[in-house]
Amino acid sequence: MLIKTRGIVFRTLKYGETSVITDIFTEEKGLCSFIGGGVRTAKARMPFNLFQPMMVVDLVAYHREGSGPSRLKELRAAEVWTATPFDIRRGAVALFMAEVCRKSIQEAEEHGELFDFLLGNLRWLDASPHPIANLHLHFLLGLSGFLGFQPQDPEEDGELFFDLTDGTFSPMPANHAFLLEPDQARQMLEILAAPLELVHEIPLQRAQRKVLLNKLLQFYQLHLPGFKSVNTPEILEMVL
């Protein structure tokens, strides 16, 4: 079956001498694997730079349900980023988003709201005139809602701990290390409540950001079977 759809590239691996296998989250079919033949040549009809993580593309493919990678027929840019490819900070955040998405999103079916969420974050990352140091934290918390374990507003007021294992708030700490201290829980709630356009206004020090990022990735590992360690936080720490 021939399909035409937009997609967001999560990962691309070399395949043979001139081809690639790429994981693309498509608007029509969800997460799919494709073979791009002959794209690593000087005269390729589908330029290799379109297969970079978090590129948004229009594709035409011979789609096969549940029988290995489908074959790409056409691929072109659906969005042209003017800042992300040339800014080391924005590029590092895009790589982080791609790695988290690849390790957490498994749906091989249409999910328009998730596609719009990812596309909106990528557009803001590329166009924002504001600092982007909090953007990856906001992204993690927003994505957790689509994955089914987003923190909910606490029913109590005051100084509250957040238990990462069951996603609940409590005035007393749990008897394990998988938790957020009250200050960290407050920071998390502030980021979660902020619109994407205003998340830069939340005051966080570099050390606070690092701790919160590590805790949120631990949160993912506790709630997503098979979610492995993420490599790109080290890059984020260096450039943000």
Instruction: Report CA torsion sign: 190, 192, 193, 196.
Output: positive
In sequence order, which residues have a C-beta less than 8 Å from that of residue 92 and are 6 or more positions away? 232, 235, 236, 238, 239, 240
Residue holding tokens 């970079």?
52
In the three-class reduction of DSSP (H, G, I as helix; E, B as strand; rest coil), residue 63 is classed as coil
Give me the residue spans of the domains in the chain.
2-77, 84-239
Interval 36-53: pLDDT, tens: 999 999 888 999 999 999
Q: What is the largest CA-CA distance in the chain?
A: 63
Question: Cβ-count burial of 153 within 10 angstroms (0-12 exposed, 13-18 middle, 19+ buried)?
Answer: exposed
Please report the DSSP string for 1-47 in residue order.
-EEEEEEEEEEEEEETTTEEEEEEEETTTEEEEEEETT-SSTT-SS-
Pairwise CA distance, residues 90 & 96, whole Å: 10
Predicted local distance difference test score (pLDDT) of residue 232 = 78
Q: Which CATH number fits domain 84-239: 1.10.10.10, 1.20.1440.120, 1.10.760.10, 3.10.180.10?
A: 1.20.1440.120
**54: Cβ–Cβ under 8 A, 6 or more apart, which residues?**
8, 9, 10, 84, 94, 95, 97, 98, 122
What's residue 229's pLDDT?
Answer: 83
Closest CA to 212 of 133, 137, 154: 137
> What is the predicted pLDDT for the residue at 1?
85
Sort strands 30-36 and 70-77 into parallel, antiparallel or unpaired. Answer: parallel
Strand segments, DSSP code E, in the chain are 2-15, 19-26, 30-36, 56-62, 70-77, 161-163, 168-170, 179-180
Q: Mutual orientation of helices 112-127 and 88-104 as an angle, nearest 10°?
A: 170
Q: What is the pLDDT of residue 81?
A: 96
Q: In the prediction, which pLDDT does 230 show?
A: 86
Per-residue model confidence as pLDDT tens for the chain (240 residues): 899 999 999 999 999 999 999 999 999 999 999 999 999 998 889 999 999 999 999 999 998 777 789 999 999 999 999 999 999 999 999 999 999 999 999 888 889 999 999 999 999 999 999 999 999 999 999 999 999 999 998 988 889 999 999 999 999 998 999 999 999 999 999 999 999 999 999 999 999 999 999 999 999 999 999 898 888 777 777 776
- Whether the Cβ atoms of residue 69 and residue 33 lie closer than 8 Å to each other: yes
Which fold, 2-77?
OB fold (Dihydrolipoamide Acetyltransferase, E2P) (2.40.50)
